[in-house]
Structure 1
Amino acid sequence: MKLVPLTDRVVLKQCEAEETTKSGIILASAAQEKPQEALVIAVGPGGVVDGKEVTMQVKEGQKVIYSKYAGTEVKLEGEEYIIVRQNDILAVVE
C-alpha cells in the first residue's frame, strides 16, 4: 500500500530522536524531544488551493524541517507518517 497525497499535501517520515546529547548524556525515551526534521516520502500534485495556484517546492527524498504542531500522524503497515500541507514546511535541509 502506498500513500498518495492530494493537492498541496506532503507525506513525511520523521527522523529518529536523538538518544544522547552532544556531551554524551544518554536520554530516557520520555526526555527525548520529538524532532521536527523529516524525510519527504511523497508529494501531492499541487493545483488550486483556496483560489490560489500552488506549485510544489519540495521533492521526494529531501530532508525538511516542519512546524512543531503541524500535520496529521498516520500509521500504515507498521510505519508512522505525518501528512502536512506544503506551507507547514519551513525549510529544506541540504
Structure 2
Amino acid sequence: MNLRPLNDRIVVEFVEEEEKKTESGIVLPDTAKKEKPQQGKVVAVGKGCEDGELESVKEGELVVFDKFAGTKVNLDGEEFVILSLEDVLAVIES
C-alpha cells in the first residue's frame, strides 16, 4: 500500500464483523447488512499522531470510529478509510 496520511490522519482497513445469526440460528447473508463496518485495523498514521502532542493510535491496532466519518479510498482492490484522529472513538484491546 502506498498511502501516507498527513497531519493527524490515519488510514484504516475495514474489518468485517463476524457473521450474524438470528436467535433461531438463521445466518444473515452479507447482502442483509445495511450498515458499513465501524471498526478497522490501523495500517498507517500521519506525523501529527506521532509527535506526542496528540493521544495517538499505533499501526496494527483495532479501532472503532464514527459511522459516517472519513473518506473511503479503493487502492489495489482493497477498501480503506482515511480518518481524522478525532473520529476514532476507541481502541479495541484484547
TM-score range, shorter chain: 0.7 to 0.9
Gap regions ≥5 residues in structure 1: 48-52
Considering fraction of residues, name the structure with more helix: 2
**Are 2:70 and 1:71 equivalent residues in the alignment?**
yes
Shift of 1:41: 0.5
5+ residue gaps, structure 2, are none
TM-aligned CA distance change 1:26 to 1:83, over 3 Å = same
TM-score using structure 2 length: 0.82
| Alignment root-mean-square deviation, CA | 2.0
Equivalence map 1:1-94=2 (5 Å): 1-21=1-21, 23=23, 24-32=25-33, 33-46=35-48, 54-94=53-93
The 2-side partners of 1:54 and 1:9 are apart by: 14
Secondary structure at the counterpart of residue 7 of structure 1: coil
Q: Bigger shift: 32-41 or 76-85?
A: 32-41
Work out the number of aligned pairs and report it. 89
Separation in 1, partners of 2:8, 2:64: 16
